Structure 1
Amino acid sequence: MSFILEYPKKKKYLKSSIGFLISNSILEGVFLSTYSFKESEELFNILTKKYGKPNVINVANADWPYSGYYWKGTKDGFDILLAQSMEKLNIEGENISGYTTEVYFVKQDLKIGKMETRETVLENFIKAHKQ
C-alpha cells in the first residue's frame, strides 16, 4: 500500500499522516490517518488479511457515522485500534461516499499514564467508540 496525494477532500488542509506515540523517549506506538476512501478500504483489507477479522465495537450507519474496530494482542505484540468516519462528499457535481480512517498500533496492554490502576489504551478506545 502506498499513500497518494490526490484524493477527494472537503478542505485543502486535510492530509494523510503518520506519527509516533512516544513516552519518556520510548516508542510506544505508531498511528496513521488517511482521508482517502480507497486507502481506507485497502488498509482495512490488509489488516484483516494479516490479523483476521477484527473485534467490532460498532459499524457506521445513517444515524451514527462512526465505526470502531480492534485487534487485541496481535502476533506482533500490538493492540491495533481502527476508527472510521463515514463521509459523503460532492466533488465537482458527483456525489461520492466512503470512509476516512485512523489506525493506532500500540504496545499490547499499554496503560494510559503510569498508574497501575489506569485503564489500557484499548479499554479507553472501546469506551470512547461505543454508541
Structure 2
Amino acid sequence: MEKRFPLPPFTQETALQKVQMAEDAWNSKDPQRVSLAYSVDTEWRNRDQFIRGREEVVQFLSKKWERELDYRLKKQLWSFTDNRIAVCFEYEWHNQAGHWFRSYGNELWEFDENGLMQRRLAAINDVAINSNERRLAEKES
C-alpha cells in the first residue's frame, strides 16, 4: 500500500512537515508530483470546482499553471488534529496580459491512514496587485 509520510495522527512537528511538503510540491508547478500527495480517490472543492481523483487533480493543476504564470506560494499551519490539518496561504501570479494577483485562502485537509490527502476543501480570493507589491518573488541566487 502506498504511504506518504508523515502519517497521522499528527503532532505539531509532523503537521508542519506536511505543510512544508505541500508548499514545496505546489511551488514545483509539477501537477504529477503534486498529485502523488493525494489518495487515488481524493475529493476536492476548489473555489467553485469539484475535483475527484488524481487524474482530475493533474488536469486541474495543468490548466491552473497554464494561466497562473510565475506562480509562487506560501502556506502556514493554522491548526491540526489527529488526521486533519488547516492551513492559511497566499500565492502570487500573473496572467498572460502581465497583470499580477495575490490569492489568499484557507484549506482544510483530511488524510487517510496512509498519509494521503483524501479530502481538500479550499476557499480562495484574488486581489489585483502591482508588480512592485509582490512579496513572494523567488530569491535570486
Bin for the TM-score computed over the shorter chain: 0.3 to 0.5
Larger RCO (CA under 8 A, 6+ residues apart)? 2
Give the greater-gyration-radius structure (CA). Answer: 1
In terms of fraction of residues, the more helix-rich structure is: 2
TM-score, normalised to structure 1, is 0.35
